[in-house]
């Protein structure tokens, strides 16, 4: 049992740090003043993030960087489009509907990424617990939307 717990501790801590980063993004998007250009916030925050990431990336070996870029160009484009979609639509979600709607995004992300993408694209195996989590994720969306309808 100790081995399994220890094996889960690292991914848990990494996910927790990523979740804290996500909360910081949400905080920034919600607290930033309104501006007539909805893409300004995302553009500037992504620029700052890119500068930080580029700076950190050069702390690691960069031999073959051009080759890496060339062979992964398609995936870099796909991920870049995903980051733009994520940034724009989370901004619109938070700005227009509030940070509480993150619950909806998070559950949809569980379904699209952790279940659909992992199983159908990456071929990861599902077990009974994944199926149960899919059911609960779907129920969470339904309950969340029902709760929001009551507040209207």
Average pLDDT, the chain: 86
pLDDT digit string (tens) for 18-60? 889 988 988 898 888 888 888 888 899 999 999 999 999 989 8
Distance (Å, whole) CA 96 – CA 83: 20
pLDDT over 60 (residue 81): yes
For residue 2, what are its two tokens?
Answer: 């100790």
- Closest listed residue to residue 105, CA positions, set 41, 33, 19: 19
Whether residue 41 contacts residue 35, with contact meaning beta carbons closer than 8 Å, is answered with yes
CA dihedral sign of residues 66, 68, 69, 74 = positive
What integer is the mean pLDDT of 8-13? 82
3-class DSSP assignment, residue 10 = helix
Looking at residue 51, what is its pLDDT? 96
pLDDT at 87: 86
Residue linked to tokens 């129920």: 139
Cα separation, 145 vs 103, in Å, equals 10
C-beta of residue 101 within 8 angstroms of C-beta of residue 109? no
Residue 91 buriedness (CB in 10 A; 0-12 / 13-18 / 19+): buried
Per-domain residue ranges of the chain: 38-97, 99-152
CA geometry: angle at 8 spanning 4 and 13, to 5°?
A: 155
Does the pLDDT value for residue 94 go beyond 60? yes
| Cα dihedral value 2, 13, 104, 82, nearest 10 | -120
Residue 152's pLDDT is 62
**Single pTM value for the model:** 0.76
Q: Is the pLDDT of residue 79 over 70?
A: yes
Question: Which range, 6-10, 63-67, 124-128, has the best average confidence (pLDDT)?
Answer: 63-67
């Amino acid at each position: 049992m100790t081995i399994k717990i220890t094996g889960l501790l690292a991914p848990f801590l990494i996910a927790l740090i990523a979740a804290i980063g996500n909360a910081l993004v949400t905080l920034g998007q919600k607290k930033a003043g309104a501006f007539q250009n909805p893409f300004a916030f995302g553009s500037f925050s992504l620029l700052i993030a890119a500068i930080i990431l580029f700076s950190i990336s050069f702390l690691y070996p960069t031999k073959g960087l051009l080759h890496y870029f060339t062979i992964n160009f398609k995936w870099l484009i796909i991920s870049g489009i995903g980051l733009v979609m994520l940034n724009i639509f989370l901004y619109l979600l938070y700005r227009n509907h509030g940070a509480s709607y993150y619950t909806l995004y998070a559950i949809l992300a569980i379904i699209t990424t952790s279940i659909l993408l992992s199983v159908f694209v990456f071929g990861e195996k599902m077990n009974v617990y994944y199926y149960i989590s899919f059911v609960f994720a779907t129920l969470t969306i339904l309950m969340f939307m029902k709760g929001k309808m009551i507040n209207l």
